[in-house]
Amino acid sequence: MSATPQRTNLLGLPRAGLEAFVERLGSKPFRAKQLMAWIYKRGVGSFDEMTDLAKDFRAKLGELAEIRAPEIVSVHRSTDGTVKWLLRADASQAFEMVYIPETDRGTLCISSQVGCVLDCSFCSTGQQGFNRNLTAAEIVGQVWLAARELERDAQARAPVGPRDDEAKSLREGRIITNVVLMGMGEPLANFRNVVPALSVFLDDFGFDLSRRRVTLSTSGLVPQIYKLAEATNVALAVSLHAPDDELRNELVPINRKHPIAELLQACWHYLDEQNGRSVTFEYVMLEGVNDSPAQARALARLLKGHPAKVNLIPFNPFPGTRYRRSPTAIIQRFRDELLQRGVLATIRRTRGDDIDAACGQLAGRVIDRVTVRLGNKVIGVAVQA
């Protein structure tokens, strides 16, 4: 018996790759745009539905290609509208994705790896170790899947009528207005798969998101920030978390390799190259660790006069952590110290607390598989998330 050749998952191909693929199938490159319109504009997942493509081309696609998003293991809905999906990368690996609706936008927070090697001391993903990179198809597949799921939900709820905002945004295909790579993993440690995925997010025939609405968050892999400046122009967020190297070495260990001064140089270079407006610096508020007014002033000295915004993130505790969230008054004081020194600063609202859905809190889980055997024959697989 000959093995079935592996099908190419089209979700992993940016436009140029898809053009090359359809050419290999003996078709004209412009078919790639048609295919993308079906996949990304209409959310179609089966070639049979692509009625304006020739039958024999569809048959070939059916044989050699597929449109396959990660599988959903479970869905958790928060009372504030936040939705978290536990997804399955393969038989034993799970990762998470979160949708955060707000009045003027809908943000999807996606993962780039299962686990993370970088071991930041306050991060539950880091604490669980590294499993593997997600493929480009798994990264794009998250947005594709969420768009389909949310659209289905909204359609089920939306009353017919032009005044309903949700129905309107649905008709305009804009349930997901922003995508942030702030879920599990370090996107720049998976450059090879993240960059093609970004290109699908931005492509007119893909998700057609403006570059300001796609944000890559990194803990500071300096050489890759320079490489990123050559490859794309999405918004950059950097996890700073400390105003000095001594503390940052402890919180974000990659700082030992790429200290703050080098990191900031790379950030300003990225903005220069990409004509970007500003870099967002994420700063997780850890009680008694990095939240003093003196530390706020030190942070202001680092960033003052540069195109920078600070986003203060209330720490999300997880079982076994030694850190505590700074009290609200301390966070506000920290923000005010920055504002008084002319550094733009905001406090991130925590969302989806009841379902552990905050960005940076996505612990992921290795699925326990219990294989039920009868002699040598597998008779069932129980999956627990």
- Residues annotated as catalytic (active site), given as ranges: 96, 359
Measured CA angle at 25 (ends 22, 27), to 5 deg: 60
- Shortest CB 283 distance to ligand SAH, Å: 8
**Which option in ligand SAH, ligand SF4, none does residue 282 bind, with CB closer than 5 to 8 A by kind?**
ligand SAH
Instruction: Count H helices and E strands in the chain, helices first.
Output: 12, 16
Measured CA angle at 179 (ends 106, 44), to 5 deg: 85
Q: Is 182 in the site for ligand SAH (CB under 6 A)?
A: yes
- Shortest CB 127 distance to ligand SF4, Å: 8
Binding residues among 273-332 for ligand SAH as defined by CB under 6 A: 282, 284, 313, 315-316
CA gap 121, 247 in Å, rounded: 11
User: What element of type H or E holds 346?
Assistant: strand 344-347
Which residues are CB-neighbours of 211 under 8 A, at least 6 positions away?
202, 232, 233, 234, 235
Q: Give the pair of three-digit tokens for residue 239.
A: 């996890």
Residue number with CB closer to ligand SAH (39 or 86) = 86
Q: Is 186 in the site for ligand SAH (CB under 6 A)?
A: yes
- Shortest CB 280 distance to ligand SF4, Å: 14
- Shortest CB 361 distance to ligand SF4, Å: 10
Residue number with CB closer to ligand SF4 (96 or 186) = 186
User: What element of type H or E holds 369?
Assistant: strand 368-374
- Shortest CB 159 distance to ligand SAH, Å: 36
- Shortest CB 223 distance to ligand SAH, Å: 16
Q: Which runs of consecutive H residues, i.e. helices, occur in 232-317? A: 245-251, 260-274, 293-303
Residues at the site binding ligand SF4, with contacts judged by CB under 6 A: 116, 118-120, 123, 125-126, 185-186, 219, 239
| Contact between residue 76 and residue 357 where contact means Cβ atoms under 8 Å apart | yes
Binding residues among 236-255 for ligand SAH as defined by CB under 6 A: 239
**Which option in ligand SF4, ligand SAH, none does residue 182 bind, with CB closer than 5 to 8 A by kind?**
ligand SAH
27, 135, 199, 361: which one binds ligand SAH (CB under 6 A) = 361
Residue number with CB closer to ligand SAH (148 or 365) = 365
Q: Is 193 in the site for ligand SAH (CB under 6 A)?
A: no
Torsion-angle region of 224 (φ positive above 0: left; ψ -120 to 50: alpha; else: beta) = alpha
Measured CA angle at 182 (ends 275, 96), to 5 deg: 150
Question: x/- string (CB under 6 A) for ligand SAH, residues 113-142?
Answer: ---x-----xxx------------------
**Which option in ligand SF4, ligand SAH, none does residue 316 bind, with CB closer than 5 to 8 A by kind?**
ligand SAH
Residue number with CB closer to ligand SAH (47 or 122) = 122
Query: What length does the chain have?
Result: 385
User: Which amino acid, 31?
Assistant: R
Provide the Cα torsion 11, 12, 16, 18; round to 10°.
-50
Binding interface with ligand SAH (CB under 6 A)? 116, 122-124, 182, 186, 217-219, 239, 282, 284, 313, 315-316, 359-361
